[in-house]
Amino acid sequence: MMNEATYAEANRTYWTHRAPSYGDVNRKELATAQRRIWTQTLDVRIQARFPDRARSSIRVLDVGTGPGFFAVILNALGYAVTAVDYTDAMLNEARLNAGEAAEHIHFCCMDAEKLGFADASFDVVVSRNLTWNLPHPERAYAEWARILKPNGLLLNFDANWYRYLYDASAQAAHLEDRANVYASGAEDDTLGTDVAAMEAIARRAILSRRMRPAWDHALLRALSMCVTSNEDIWKEVWTEDERINNASTPMFLVQAVKTAAAEEGSR
């Protein structure tokens, strides 16, 4: 069993090595219909929350930006974007993907569980495929609530990744997904992934053993956040290949708003 320091180092090492191939994945997304789909998915929800605000006045924090997919598309929409990641290698990929727009995005190397921003700094926090991988996701959610302004919006896209390590029925469904990938000729999304290393990290991650988004709901309510979820968001944002690869692990959206009670609690 990894201790906390070993887990953190294993995580940093894995994602540092993974950065170039993950950057390729994001570049493909930015060059295909996925860019339009995700742009609409994010923008419609942010605009619904702040209908009378100019986009340039809305400060957005992309937590766990990786190679910068969310940061790039949100900057292109005109939002004031800050993007943080745990590894410099991922941030280098993000700057590459942003191109000339990189100078308009504030990139920072930070821990999602310990952000170096003042209270109530951002109107919106967005994240994708990050929370499951954190050693203390409850700390991350508390931090995100802290740095959100009152009535600020959280959009967290994630899934029950690697639950198959702890659940027999999930394991059977995962194996069926793998078989369907090969049978269909879909692009295998494990290419470029060191599965053994990732599974070793996932065994240490607390959320591999939790059923979500129910877990997220309970935690965010405890933080006095007003929370809803969309367990069908995968139908809106996933490609056909993603649906085949991850049929047993559908993406969900956890959406939360910082209430006055949450503001008091974060002080």
Q: Are 63 and 125 in contact (CB under 8 A)?
A: yes
Residue 258 to residues 25, 45, 139, Cα–Cα distance (Å): 32, 15, 16
221 in a structural domain: yes
33 in a structural domain: yes
CATH of the domain at 112: 3.40.50.150
252 in a structural domain: yes
Of the pLDDT bands very low, low, confident and very high (cuts 50, 70, 90), residue 5 is confident
Tokens 């991850």 belong to residue:
246
18 in a structural domain: yes
Write out pLDDT tens, residues 199-242.
Answer: 999 999 999 999 999 999 999 999 999 999 999 999 999 999 99
The string of DSSP codes covering 39-88 is: HHHHHHHHHHH-TTS-GGG-EEEEET-TTTHHHHHHHHHT-EEEEEES-H
Write out pLDDT tens, residues 111-139.
Answer: 999 999 999 999 999 999 999 999 999 99
The Cα–Cα gap between 81 and 258 comes to 19
192 in a structural domain: no
The Cα–Cα gap between 41 and 250 comes to 16
- Rounded to 5 degrees, what are φ and ψ at 87? -125, 140
> What is the number of domains present in the chain?
1
* pTM of the predicted protein model: 0.95
> Which candidate, 228, 230, 229, 224, places its Cα nearest to that of 258?
224
Q: Is 107 helix (H, G, I), strand (E, B) or coil?
A: strand
The Cα–Cα gap between 132 and 119 comes to 24
Residue 81, pLDDT > 70, answer yes
197 in a structural domain: no
Write out pLDDT tens, residues 142-171.
Answer: 999 999 999 999 999 999 999 999 999 999
25 in a structural domain: yes
Domain extent at residue 119: 4-159+213-238+246-258
48 in a structural domain: yes
Write out pLDDT tens, residues 42-76.
Answer: 999 999 999 999 999 999 999 999 999 999 999 99
